[in-house]
Amino acid sequence: MATGKRRSATLLLIAPAALVLLVFLVIPYVNIVIMSFRPPGEGAPYGVGFTLANYRKFFSDSFYMLQVLNTLWIGFVVTLSCLLIGFPVAWQLARGESRLRPLYYSIVLAPLLVGIVIRSYGWTVLLGNNGVINRTLMGWGVTDGPLPLMYNGLGICIALTHVLLPFMVLPIMSAIQGIDPSLEAAARSLGASRAVAFRRVLLPLARPGIQTGSILVFVLAISAYVTPALIGGLRVKTMAVTVVDALIDTFQWPFGSALALVLSVVGATCVIVFARLTRMRWKVA
């Protein structure tokens, strides 16, 4: 009786969130899945009947496969560079004793406070052939012509790393804040140098934060649209850009749906494999 009451209270508490998810995520998703099996239509989003043609088109054209690999590669590079740049920052924010810590914290959060279009446009100003970086380098005589910083994968990675850095820093910071500082002292009292204490004690304990941050950044990087669209231009396209092209520009709703689903499945598979590989066997009290 008591547990029955508790169960209905639980249901009541999660109902609003479940309803939002159902209406705005599950139903549209189901719609996309159905649409991906429809033939293209004339003057309508899709025609009548069902077909595998959209998926056949995707898997028979290496152009799309290469694009998936390219998108995953960008996701991987962005995740790795966010991790390498973000970890020391997270460490400093969690353990630093500087009075300027609130300032550093707001600097880390700053990219989130500027609209994504403005931010990406800012990068085009910096990275373009006639941009600040290239003009400065040419002005100093370091290079003769402009370096290819934009309209390629490099530019997309630079801009996405900047945009997504807070999503790496914040989870790692909170993981490090949860590590008892006396653990490092304990490791050193047992004969471990600072480096060994870091590798054997602090890094494994920061792993939940690293895992969360990496998954967040990876998922956001492979599904990013605005930044790759503005920085990559017409030459380099990620899957998200191609999906939008198919939907908006060429009005191929069924094919676009198939592309979007492939991207989702590939992304989800990567996350599951990553989470499995970095799974933890212990739990903190």
Partner 1 sequence: MTEVRISHLTKSFGAGPVVDALSLTIGHGEFVSLLGPSGCGKTTTLRMIAGFEDADSGVIAFDGSDVSRVPAEKRDIGMVFQNYALFPHMTVAQNLAFGLEMRKIPAAEIRTRIARVLDMVQLGTMTERYPSQLSGGQQQRVALARAIVIEPRILLLDEPLANLDAKLREEMRVFIRDIQRRVGITTVYVTHDQAEALSMSDRVVVMFGGRIAQTGAPADIYDRPATRQVAGFVGQVNVIEGVVETASGEGGHVRLPFGTIEAPRIGAATPGARVALALRPEAVSLVPPAGAGWQGRVVSRHYGGNLVDYRVAMADGTVIHAQTFPTTQFEPGAEVGVHADAARLWPLGD
Q: Interface residues with partner 1 (CB under 8 A)?
A: 180, 182-183, 185-193, 196, 200-201, 204-205, 280, 282-285
Q: How far is the CB of 102 from partner 1 (least distance, A)?
A: 21
Q: Is 118 exposed, middle or buried (0-12, 13-18, 19+ CB in 10 A)?
A: exposed
Nearer to partner 1, 127 or 179 (CB): 179
Nearer to partner 1, 23 or 190 (CB): 190
Q: How far is the CB of 184 from partner 1 (least distance, A)?
A: 9
260 close to 113: Cβ distance less than 8 angstroms:
no
Dist CA 226 CA 224 (whole Å): 6
Interacting residues of 146 by C-beta distance below 8 A, sequence separation 6+: 129, 130, 134, 138
Nearer to partner 1, 9 or 285 (CB): 285
> Tokens at residue 84, please?
């390498």
Q: How far is the CB of 174 from partner 1 (least distance, A)?
A: 16
Q: How far is the CB of 207 from partner 1 (least distance, A)?
A: 8
Q: How far is the CB of 99 from partner 1 (least distance, A)?
A: 13
Contacts 24+ apart (CB under 8 A), 231-235: 231/120, 231/123, 231/124, 231/127, 231/150, 231/151, 231/155, 231/156, 231/159, 232/151, 232/152, 232/153, 232/155, 232/156, 233/150, 233/151, 234/151, 235/151, 235/152
Nearer to partner 1, 69 or 186 (CB): 186
Q: Is 75 exposed, middle or buried (0-12, 13-18, 19+ CB in 10 A)?
A: buried
Nearer to partner 1, 110 or 183 (CB): 183
Interacting residues of 139 by C-beta distance below 8 A, sequence separation 6+: none
Dist CA 15 CA 13 (whole Å): 6
Q: How far is the CB of 195 from partner 1 (least distance, A)?
A: 10
Nearer to partner 1, 48 or 277 (CB): 277
Q: How far is the CB of 194 from partner 1 (least distance, A)?
A: 8
Nearer to partner 1, 68 or 201 (CB): 201
